[in-house]
């Protein structure tokens, strides 16, 4: 993989990660959950307000009931004292109070119905929010696990690409070494044959090399004749094989004694 391809792959992965963060479903689920919690809080606040209003009307009704009882007692007391005028006034006020109580009773019934509906709505919404929370956490856990697996796979893929590059570099290095070894062997042969001039050698090195080669060939011919004449006897042993001592190797190639 070339440097440009690797950079392009890195930029593509980074761009994908940025988009993934912007479109992270976990954040969307958390936002939806927060909105539902806010709605539940609003329903509960409304329920508390209705319950407070109903309680206020109940207290007002209790006061009106106490007054109604007092007016009844006052009318009876006025009649016992022979004051029909006061009794009539008490009964008139009690009649007016009855109409007020009827209005308050209607308001109380309406608030009671509203409170009952809000309590049912609050119960259903609370259940839905609780269920959504469980499902949300399950989805988030699944997404997190999948994301971790994707990152692990991406890391493994990146390592595989890197190891492929390492293997390619190793093969190229082996090819270069083989080429250099072949070149070294070729130059040795050229130097040995005299086809390639050694600029670092002495001026008459070519003559010395040829004379050495001729002397070596003459020595081989001499040893071959000796082997033929002696049947590979003592002369061959002395020339080609060391003796039994630890320094016998020093006599190799020294010829017959």
Phi, psi dihedrals of residue 250, rounded to the nearest 5° = -70, -20
For position 19, what pLDDT does the model report? Answer: 47
What's the mean pLDDT in 117-129? 93
For residues 223 and 138, the model is more confident at 138
CATH of the structural domain 3-188, one choice from 1.10.287, 1.10.40, 1.10.3110, 3.30.1490: 1.10.287
pTM exceeding 0.75: no
Per-residue pLDDT tens digits for 151-172 = 888 777 765 556 667 677 878 8
How many residues are recorded in the chain?
A: 257
The 3-state secondary structure of 170-238 reads HHHHHHHHHHHHHHHHHHHHHHHHCCCCCCCCCCCHHHHHHHHHHHHHHHHHHHHHHHHHHCCCHHHHH
- Pair 64, 107: CB distance under 8 Å: no
Helix 84-193 and helix 25-80, axial crossing angle in degrees, nearest 10? 170
| Per-domain boundaries in the chain | 3-188, 206-251
Q: End-to-end distance of the chain based on CA atoms, in angstroms? A: 68
């Amino acid at each position: 993989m070339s440097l440009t391809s690797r950079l392009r792959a890195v930029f593509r992965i980074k761009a994908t990660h940025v988009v993934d963060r912007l479109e992270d479903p976990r954040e969307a689920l958390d936002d939806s959950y927060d909105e539902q919690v806010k709605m539940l809080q609003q329903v509960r606040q409304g329920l508390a307000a209705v319950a407070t209003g109903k309680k206020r009307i109940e207290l007002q009704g209790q006061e009106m009931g106490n007054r109604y009882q007092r007016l009844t007692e006052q009318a009876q007391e006025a009649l016992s004292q022979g004051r029909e005028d006061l009794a009539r006034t008490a009964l008139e006020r009690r009649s007016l109070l009855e109409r007020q109580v009827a209005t308050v009773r209607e308001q109380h019934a309406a608030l009671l119905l509203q409170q009952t509906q809000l309590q049912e709505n609050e119960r259903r919404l609370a259940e839905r929010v609780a269920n959504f929370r469980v499902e949300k956490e399950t989805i988030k856990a699944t997404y997190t696990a999948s994301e971790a697996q994707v990152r692990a796979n991406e890391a493994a893929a990146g390592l595989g690409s890197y190891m492929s590059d390492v293997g390619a570099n190793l093969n190229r290095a082996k090819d270069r070494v083989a080429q250099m070894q072949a070149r070294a062997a070729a130059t040795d042969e050229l130097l040995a044959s005299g086809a390639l001039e050694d600029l670092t050698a002495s001026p008459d090195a070519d003559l010395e090399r040829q004379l050495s080669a001729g002397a070596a060939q003459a020595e081989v011919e001499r040893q071959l004749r000796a082997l033929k004449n002696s049947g590979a006897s003592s002369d061959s042993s002395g020339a080609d094989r060391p003796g039994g001592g630890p320094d016998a190797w020093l006599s190799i190639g020294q010829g017959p004694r």
